[in-house]
Amino acid sequence: MSESDSQSQERITVVLPDGSELEVDADATVEDCAYEIGPGLGSDTVAGKLDGDLVAKEEPAYDGAELEIITDGSEEYLEVMRHSAAHCLAQAVERLYDEDAVKLAIGPPTDEGFYYDFDNLEVDEEDLADLEAEIEAIIDEDYDIEREVVSIDEAEQRLAGEPYKLELLSEFADENDTVTFYKQGEWEDLCAGPHVDSTGEIGVVELLEIAGAYWRGDEDNTMQTRIYGTAFEDESDLKDFLERKREAEKRDHRRIGNEMDLFSIQDVTGPGLPLYHPAGKTVLSELEGFVKDLNEDAGYDYVETPHVFKTDLWHRSGHYENYQDDMFIFDVGDDEFGLKPMNCPGHAAIFQDHSWSYRDLPIRYAENGKVYRKEQRGELSGLSRVWAFTIDDGHLFVRPEQIRQEVEAIMDMITDVLETFDLDYEMALATRPEKSVGSDEIWERAEDQLESVLESHGHDYEIEDGDGAFYGPKIDFAFEDAIGRSWDGPTVQLDFNMPERFDLNYVGEDNEEHRPVMIHRALYGSYERFFMMLIEHYEGRFPLWLAPEQVRVLPISDDNLGYAHRVANEFDDFRVEVDDRDSTLERKIRAAHDDRVPYQIIVGDNEEDDGNISVRDRFEDQEYDVEIDEFREHLEAERDEQRTEPDFLQ
Ligand SMILES: [Zn+2]
Ligand SMILES: [Zn+2]
């Protein structure tokens, strides 16, 4: 028997998305598997997914792999096409600029498009049109995109003069004998793919912006030039995307935060360390108060823990072994300390300091706990990625049979939050992963209870099989903002591990010691993320109860200044200001509008004579001859009922 015969007799099994199994030759590629399923699918194959990783169709399948075939109808197709568009961008750059001077770094697809990083490239926004035209030409030239498997030595020669590529290559070389190149026309790149078959298959490409980016996201490295772009199958998809992008930019929390003087992040105080200004802290305080009321109604006790602990605690909690790279750790004298990345261990330590009877449980601790996580500097952005943030944290210690009632109560609180802010949401239950701690019995019992809570909640949910943490199942919320974007929201996480590590127990009815289950929960998640999301959701036009300035009194002339202050006094229960600047009424209205104040009270001679006011809202509706008492009563109701829009004039 020849060697190839003996090989072809070996068979492997791959698992298809519908759960069925497919037996193929041991050396079958992703594309071979697709042909095995059907010739139509085979010829439509663009790429594949093996155990969730996007791979080239030429990659071999392996025994037991979950296999998905990617065609131009798949969601992942855009990602593949955008990666190919990134190659076209690099090709265009090398055509239009000094090929020997410009050094290529990396060019991956992203959620919204792609980028390519270049060193030694001088380019500005005005040059993007030329680059776009060149990319279009490359698409029109319709080059085949050819994959080639190359030895490490050969690759080294081809990449001579490209220091960044050589650095990447040397890392691949540690684990592989060969690498792949993708070639289109005169241009080629060291790249794992996958790609579309030819440049002609790329639809429309738009270059979006130029930014600086450190090689490998490390600020000790060279700053390179990053060009961002996106690609879609057709013009109309691109138009929709640009429209959404404009809308998102209009709502950018960094810009609005600056305009409304809500917060700042400064070089001198450090990256990812937000400073809340008075207006921002006013909004935060309202958010804190809202959660405090919910917590107190639901029987939580507030605790407080410091920002830093001895690392003994982090050893006990497991953070030292598993989370150290994301922590700020430092020595003080002979002891080692770490800023807290999570509040849970502190709360577990409080619980541990007592002896508990089954009658005491559940114990519910709440804390607005500031935590510190060392994100990569290059990843930091506004309030969305920060080093210091505050979680509206809560930890419960419950008997296993209390999981259902407690999670139900938490879900009610979360629903309350989402409805108050007018956010749509989705829920998912993440279940036991392959590697986990805790007995079968406790997992089953916990998952059953979570499922029955979700069932009775009456809102659709997904089950994410095997996506739970190793220490317990969880329910995740994602909310959708006013322009349809999805954000990570609250979570309810069960934990069978930390009670073990801290040796937590309570004395049961049987007089024996038992382990409680720990539940981690947050209603907002982090204040920073939630605040950011609210700024963008409302475009800075907060509901009255949250608005940093709720009412502004605008005197028509200086003669009405005294009356303006008397009127303001009538609203001293609210955050009210008088615009006493020497300026025209039109300008004052403009300023109040820009500051996104929900209501303006306008007072002139007529109002003063009648002892009345004129009321103007942020929709620019205005009503004259309003009685002060009537308006104040309305404001109280609008604030206390936490209505989302000013509705006195609506
Ligand atoms: Zn590539
Ligand atoms: Zn926790």
Please report the pLDDT score of residue 3 as a whole number: 47
Number of domains in the chain: 4
CATH code, domain with 65: 3.10.20.30
CATH code, domain with 432: 3.30.930.10
Among 650, 533, 531, residue whose Cα is nearest residue 598: 650
> Amino acid identity, residue 444?
E
Residue 361: beta bridge partners? none
DSSP string, 325-379: GGS-EEEETTEEEEE-S-SHHHHHHHHHTS-EEGGGPPEEEEEEEEEE----GGG
Please state the separation of Cα 309 from the chain's center in Å.
28
Going from the Cα of 43 to the center of ligand 1, the distance in angstroms, rounded, reads 23
Output the CA–CA distances (angstroms, integers) from residue 580 to 563, 595, 600, in the order listed. Answer: 12, 15, 13
Report which bound ligand comes closest to the CA of 109: 1
Angle at 30 between CA 188 and CA 88, to 5 degrees: 25
Please state the separation of Cα 235 from the chain's center in Å.
28
> Amino acid identity, residue 449?
Q
Q: Which of 26, 47, 70 is the last residue of a domain?
A: 70
Domain co-membership, 54 together with 84:
no
493-509: b (≥16 Cβ within 10 Å) or e:
bbbbbbbebbebbbeee
Domain co-membership, 524 together with 602:
no
Domain co-membership, 174 together with 49:
no
Going from the Cα of 188 to the center of ligand 1, the distance in angstroms, rounded, reads 9
Among 97, 83, 187, 108, residue whose Cα is nearest residue 141: 187
Contact 387, 609 (CB under 8 A): no
Domain co-membership, 498 together with 569:
no
> Is residue 435 in a domain?
yes
Domain span holding position 14 = 3-70
Q: Cα(67)–Cα(36) distance, rounded to whole angstroms?
A: 13
Going from the Cα of 391 to the center of ligand 2, the distance in angstroms, rounded, reads 9
Domain co-membership, 64 together with 92:
no
Residue 67: beta bridge partners? 50
Going from the Cα of 387 to the center of ligand 2, the distance in angstroms, rounded, reads 17
> Is residue 534 in a domain?
no
Domain co-membership, 316 together with 447:
yes
**The pair of three-digit structure tokens given for residue 493, joined into one six-digit string:** 């996480």
> Is residue 154 in a domain?
yes
Domain co-membership, 350 together with 467:
yes
Going from the Cα of 518 to the center of ligand 2, the distance in angstroms, rounded, reads 9
Going from the Cα of 492 to the center of ligand 2, the distance in angstroms, rounded, reads 9
| Element housing 173 (H / E) | helix 163-175
Residue 516 is given by DSSP the state P
Q: Cα(70)–Cα(609) distance, rounded to whole angstroms?
A: 75
Angle at 283 between CA 280 and CA 288, to 5 degrees: 120
Backbone phi, psi, residue 230, to 5°:
-145, 165
Where in 482-639 does DSSP place strands (E)? 486-495, 506-507, 513-514, 517-526, 551-555, 576-578, 599-603, 613-617, 622-626
Domain co-membership, 208 together with 321:
no
Please report the pLDDT score of residue 145 as a whole number: 97
Residue 543 is given by DSSP the state -
Report which bound ligand comes closest to the CA of 394: 2
Among 390, 368, 391, 423, residue whose Cα is nearest residue 536: 423
**The pair of three-digit structure tokens given for residue 638, joined into one six-digit string:** 């609008």
Report which bound ligand comes closest to the CA of 491: 2
**The pair of three-digit structure tokens given for residue 380, joined into one six-digit string:** 């930091």
Output the CA–CA distances (angstroms, integers) from residue 329 to 306, 332, 349, in the order listed. Answer: 15, 10, 20
**The pair of three-digit structure tokens given for residue 631, joined into one six-digit string:** 């308006």
Please report the pLDDT score of residue 482 as a whole number: 82
Please report the pLDDT score of residue 9 as a whole number: 67
**The pair of three-digit structure tokens given for residue 321, joined into one six-digit string:** 């072994």
> Is residue 22 in a domain?
yes
For the segment 224-243, what is each residue's pLDDT rounded down to a tens digit? 999 999 999 999 999 999 99
> Is residue 179 in a domain?
yes
Report which bound ligand comes closest to the CA of 347: 2
> Is residue 472 in a domain?
yes
CATH code, domain with 120: 3.30.980.10
Averaged over successive runs of 10 residues, the pLDDT of the chain (650 residues) comes to 54 94 94 95 95 94 95 94 98 93 95 95 94 97 96 95 95 90 96 95 96 90 96 95 92 95 93 95 97 97 97 92 91 95 96 96 97 87 92 96 94 92 91 87 89 88 90 91 85 92 96 96 94 94 97 96 97 97 94 95 95 94 95 97 91
Contact 142, 202 (CB under 8 A): no
**Residues sharing a CB contact under 8 Å with residue 432, sequence separation 6 or more, in sequence order:** 443, 447, 466, 468, 473
Q: Cα(597)–Cα(591) distance, rounded to whole angstroms?
A: 9
Residue 178: beta bridge partners? 151
Going from the Cα of 348 to the center of ligand 2, the distance in angstroms, rounded, reads 9
State whether residue 645 is helix, strand or coil: coil
Contact 478, 426 (CB under 8 A): yes
Please report the pLDDT score of residue 446 as a whole number: 87
Report which bound ligand comes closest to the CA of 117: 1
Q: Which residue has the tokens 């739970």?
A: 468
Domain co-membership, 196 together with 146:
yes
Domain co-membership, 34 together with 106:
no
**Residues sharing a CB contact under 8 Å with residue 310, sequence separation 6 or more, in sequence order:** 335, 336, 337, 338
Backbone phi, psi, residue 186, to 5°:
-80, 0
Q: Which of 216, 250, 284 is the last residue of a domain?
A: 250
**The pair of three-digit structure tokens given for residue 241, joined into one six-digit string:** 């995307």
Residue 425: beta bridge partners? 479
Domain co-membership, 569 together with 517:
no
Q: Cα(88)–Cα(142) distance, rounded to whole angstroms?
A: 11
> Is residue 189 in a domain?
yes
State whether residue 535 is helix, strand or coil: helix
Q: Cα(497)–Cα(437) distance, rounded to whole angstroms?
A: 7
Among 366, 314, 364, residue whose Cα is nearest residue 340: 314
> Is residue 360 in a domain?
yes
Domain co-membership, 499 together with 602:
no
Going from the Cα of 162 to the center of ligand 1, the distance in angstroms, rounded, reads 15
Q: Which of 250, 274, 308 is the last residue of a domain?
A: 250
Ligand 2 ion: residues within 5 Å (CB)? 344, 520
Angle between helices 527-538 and 278-297 (to 10 degrees): 110
Going from the Cα of 377 to the center of ligand 1, the distance in angstroms, rounded, reads 24
Output the CA–CA distances (angstroms, integers) from residue 261 to 159, 274, 367, 579, in the order listed. Answer: 50, 13, 27, 17
Whether the predicted model's global pTM rises above the 0.75 cut: yes
